[in-house]
Structure formats: structure tokens, C-alpha cells
Amino acid sequence: MPSPAPSPSPDGRPRPGLPPLLYADAPAGAAGWVAGNRDALRAAVAGHGAVLVRGLGIREPGQVGEILDGFGAPPVGDTEAFAPRRTYANGVYSSSPWPSNQPMCMHHELSYTLAFPSVMMFACLGAPTAGGATAVADSADVFDALPPAVTERFVREGWLLARSYGNDIGASTAEAFGTDDPRAIERYCRANAIDLSWQPDGTLHTRQRRSAVLRHPVTGRRCWFNQIAFLNEWTIDPEVHDYLIAEYGADGLPFNTFHGNGDPVSPETVHLIDTAYKAHAAGRPWQEGDLLILDNLRTAHSREAFQGPRDVVVAMGGPLHPNDCSPTIEVTRP
């Protein structure tokens, strides 16, 4: 398999951040090709943060689980998901439901958990007629681009994720935790450093503090690894935001983010983070059968608005603990 090279922009110059494109000749099948080229693919992801493989002929969700296995990445479950997904196989899921006319902001998958996936795969079973690209951004470059006035506080304090379950908005407790047994949920939260409280109306509120910046265990660079902007109230469509506040109150939002000490994150800060992401975002239009592999710590991802049907299957593998990445705040399991 040839080494990928940076892709040119329309003026012929290398385009920073755009995942290199590889063409596969896979007569024996996608999983076999990935397994046979595992070392080269891993080197490409290590060198560029992400790589797009074209020509694998992926048509079924079941193939994606075999590809994840061929890549040598143990599957990671979708525990604590913020939206319900369909499960195809261990570690293989449908894309998160999100309105097709709204872009999905840059984020790192499960960055708020204590065992997040180091490897993300996106397999296109059906390409939209327009838009819908999965764009990527280098999280170390994003961290370097953010103003110190923003990053220093998050480095010092971390970030706080608050969630509310049970208002028929977002994932239910059963969808997020795999059970609706209160005792099992409480055990999970205790084991994963999550504070919880049951409300009189039966809803569950949780709060968890995490490091906003991790150091990549291979490159050593500090990565802006969180979902501060993506899960913040100011990212919600204004009309939807006003409705949710009026219906459920500020504490009843399905999710919101704060500074590590609990102070609100200002709209200006969310805007600065989104601006830095957009300045470093790059992506290719999907073609049916494509496979995008990325380093989830090094590389954030987003989704463009789109038209027409879009079927992209997600696989998560290679569990990694924040404590293996020099976190700036300490989070320990009891």
C-alpha cells in the first residue's frame, strides 16, 4: 500500500488538515484488506490524524465490525451516549440522530467518559445528494490557536458536563446506561466519578468533571479534548433553547457544559472555540463504500448539513483512559 500524501487544494498546493486519500484494491473483501494493511493504515493515521480509504466496497453494517477487528482495535461501547443509536455489533452503531438541515459541531467521541475510544471509524453505506461530509480538525492545532485567556482556565479547572434524563429529550437512562434500574445506574456513576441526584419527578440529573486538555501519548502534544462547545446550551438552536428553558428550566436541559468550578461558559467563549474549529476543519464529500479512520484524541470531527438520504455507520475501538494522557486535573474512580 503506497504512503498517502497530503491532498492538493484547488490551487495545487497541499491542503493542511485534509485526510489523505487511499485507493484500495480489495478483491478478498474490506476486512481482509484492512487486516493485511493494518500497519500501513496505523502509520497513516499516526502521521496525519485521519485517513480516508476508498474502494473497499463496504455495503453492510456487519462488515464494519469485521473491519474494526481487522484493524486490531478492541470495541468500545456507547455508554453515556447523548442520543440513542441503533446497535449493529459490539462497538458498531448508527450515526447519532441530528437534523439533516443543521450541522453537527466539532467534538471528540465520548470525551466525557473514563474509557473513551482512541480509534473512530466512519463507513459510508449511502452518500447524500449534497453536503453531509464528516470534517476533521487537529485538536493540538486547535488548542494552540485558542486564546490563552480561554485555555488557561480550562487547563486549571477542567470542564463540567451536566445532564438531565427523563424529559423525553435526548437519551433516556436506559439508552445511556444500558439499564433503567436505579441501583445499577448509581453503581455505574459511582464507579465512573459521576455525581447524580434523582429529582422528585423521577428525572435523573448528573454532573461529571473532566480534564479539558490531554497530552497525546505518542506525539506528546497537548490536545483540546472535550465537548465544551458541542454540548453547551448556546450551541442549541435559539428557538429550541428557549422552549426547553421554558418547559424544563435551566437545570432540565438534556445537557450543558460549564467551567470546572461550575461557572457558566459564556456565549463568547463558545464562539471562540467554534471559530478555532472552523479555521482548522477539512473534509471530503462521501462516496458510497468509503471508510474514514481517525485518531479520536488527536482529531475532532463534525458533520455538515446535507440533503437526501445519508447512511454512515460508526465504529469505536481501542479504549483509552484519560490518566494515560497526562490530564490537567485528576479524576479517579472510587
CATH of the domain at 209: 3.60.130.10
Residue 98 lies in a domain: yes
pTM beyond 0.85: yes
Q: Could you report the per-residue pLDDT of 14-73, keeping only the tens digit for each?
A: 456 899 999 999 877 999 999 999 999 999 999 999 999 999 999 999 999 999 999 999
State how far the Cα of 317 lies from the Cα of 38, in Å rounded to an integer.
14
Number of domains in the chain: 1
Q: How far apart are CA 168 and CA 58, in angstroms?
A: 35
Contacts 24+ apart (CB under 8 A), 246-251: 247/167, 248/164, 248/167, 248/169, 251/162, 251/164, 251/205
pLDDT of residue 12: 35
- Confidence label for 333 from pLDDT (cuts 50, 70 and 90): low
The per-residue DSSP string of 187-206 comes to: HHHHHTT-EEEE-TTS-EEE
Q: Is residue 186, in this structure, part of any structural domain at all?
A: yes
Whether residue 333 lies inside any domain: the answer is no
- In this prediction, residue 334 has a pLDDT band, given cuts at 50, 70 and 90, of low
Residue 115 grid cell = 474509557
Average pLDDT over residues 77-100: 90
- Residue 88 is assigned to a structural domain of this protein: yes
Alpha-carbon gap, residue 223 to 166, rounded angstroms: 33
Closest C-alpha among 98, 138, 91 to residue 115: 91
Rounded CA separation 333/50 (Å) = 31
Tens of pLDDT, residue by residue over 233-278, are: 999 888 888 888 888 888 888 999 999 999 999 999 999 999 999 9
Least confident interval from 118-127, 183-192, 274-283, 323-332:
323-332
Give the closest residue to 134 by CA, choosing from 21, 275, 4, 284.
284
Q: Could you tell me if residue 2 is inside a domain?
A: no
Nearest to 199 by CA among 230, 167, 160, 233: 167
Residue 319 structural domain: 19-328
Establish if 220 belongs to a structural domain.
yes
pLDDT at 15: 58
Which of 16-20, 303-307, 315-319 is predicted least confidently? 16-20
In a domain, 7, yes or no: no
Q: Does a structural domain hold residue 10?
A: no
